[in-house]
Amino acid sequence: MSQANPITTRLEGPAPAMEVAVDLVKRSLWVLPVVVGIGFAGWRGDGAWSALYGLVIVAVNFFLAAWILQVTGRISVALMAGGALFGFLLRLGLIMAAVLLVRDASWVSLVPLGVTLIVAHLGLLFWELRYVSGSLAFPGLKPVPVDTAVPARDASPVSHQGARP
């Protein structure tokens, strides 16, 4: 029995990671008013801008993670594993650089920025767990259930005129 070579095996078709990341970015837009509102309530304008900046960093981080997996997976499975490992380190460095770049800016408050980075990463991931499929039959997001409120048209030749409800 021949085994697939991870160096030369590549993934074809749609990338489930990108589907999940796009869904995470959409969910981050849903929580945007709440996050900015909490930042404003606690730290006024600086807190609102800092929370917004933190949420943007989180959304870009998720999207970049999926993009790295998508691109490297189309080259080889082994490169995708390396992309997952070293991409994580690269993304942590980018988050650190994004924070260090603005830490002394007049509009930044580090507490709401840090809290947003931590809570948004974890909160969005746990929220997304409800929508991610655990099945290889449907990688990525769970399929949307068919609406059961609309009955299917009965194709049987039997008449139901005298039937009780």
Domain membership flag for residue 153? no
Domain membership flag for residue 162? no
Domain membership flag for residue 140? no
**What is the distance, to the nearest Å, from the Cα of residue 8 to the centroid of all Cα atoms in its chain?**
28
Domain membership flag for residue 134? no
Domain membership flag for residue 142? no
104-140 tens-digit pLDDT: 999 999 999 999 999 999 999 999 999 998 777 778 8
Q: How far apart are CA 1 and CA 140, in angstroms?
A: 30
Nearest to 7 by CA among 71, 95, 81: 81
- Residue 110, domain extent: 16-128
Domain membership flag for residue 124? yes
Which of 7-16, 90-99, 151-160 is predicted least confidently?
151-160
Helix locations, 5-109, DSSP H: 16-73, 77-102
Predicted TM-score (pTM) of this structure: 0.81
Q: Looking at residues 23-36, what average pLDDT do you find?
A: 96
Count of domains forming the chain: 1
Q: How far apart are CA 162 and CA 165, in angstroms?
A: 10
Residue type, 92: L
Domain membership flag for residue 123? yes
Domain membership flag for residue 86? yes
The residue with greater pLDDT, 13 or 75, is: 75
Residue 139 has, within 13 A of its CA and on its CB side, a CA count of: 8
Q: How far apart are CA 17 and CA 139, in angstroms?
A: 9
| pLDDT number for residue 163 | 47
